[in-house]
Amino acid sequence: HREGAERWSRECALLASCGQERRPERVTLPLTGQRWSVELLPGRRPSVTDRGDGVLRVHTPAGTDRQVSQALLRWLARSAQAELEARLRRTSGEIGIGFARMILRRQRTRWGSCSAAGTISLNVCLMFQRPEVVRYLMVHELCHRPHMNHSKRFWALVAEHEPGWKPLDVELLQGWRNVPAWVFP
């Protein structure tokens, strides 16, 4: 029933995001608590400049929605790589379950996954979730290292490291609603 709930949540979120602005006036990353206003400027290629003054300067040749998304996605991926990897390493150390490497993806269907080889894949869209929810997802994926399934033993291990996981799981299922439209142009 969890997979059905995930599918329903994603479909609702994707429908809702169709009406959202694809040229954001603001960008907020709940994971880090950071907020920026967005300024659109001409530029030779899509890029973003962050001078640390609370303004993301999005440079694009033609200023199309696609170019704005492209620039913001590159910026988001750089930010997510550093932030999520540091948090995953910290969580791994806290719970004593290691991983081989982390890769970052932008997916419409999953928040994360764990391979048998120990690769943890995380979705760049986690940047739009609360820190507690992201930590839960990381605990969940790390607990797949000893249990590559959703058995009772797996969930017991998750509960050992994240006792309040159930409401966080529900919030994560609904988390697609927090992802802005420009992430999936």
Residue with tokens 């309040």: 164
Task: Give the tens place of pLDDT for each residue, 29-56.
Answer: 999 999 999 999 999 999 999 999 999 9
For residue 86 the two structure tokens come to 């540091």
Q: Over range 12-38, report the average pLDDT.
A: 78
- Is 184 or 159 the better-scoring residue by pLDDT? 159
Q: Would you say residue 2 has pLDDT above 60?
A: no
Q: Over range 93-99, report the average pLDDT.
A: 98
Task: Give the tens place of pLDDT for each residue, 108-148.
Answer: 889 999 999 999 999 999 999 999 999 999 999 999 999 99
Rounded to whole angstroms, how far apart are CA atoms 182 and 27?
10
Q: In this structure, what are the phi and psi dihedrals at residue 55, rounded to the nearest 5 degrees?
A: -125, 125
Q: Would you say residue 90 has pLDDT above 60?
A: yes
Q: Would you say residue 20 has pLDDT above 80?
A: no
* 105 alpha-carbon distance from chain centroid: 9
Q: In this structure, what are the phi and psi dihedrals at residue 111, rounded to the nearest 5 degrees?
A: -85, -30
Report pTM. Answer: 0.88
- The pLDDT value given to residue 19: 41
- The pLDDT value given to residue 22: 78
Rounded to whole angstroms, how far apart are CA atoms 51 and 164?
38
Rounded to whole angstroms, how far apart are CA atoms 42 and 17?
26
* 14 CB-side CA count, 13 A: 11
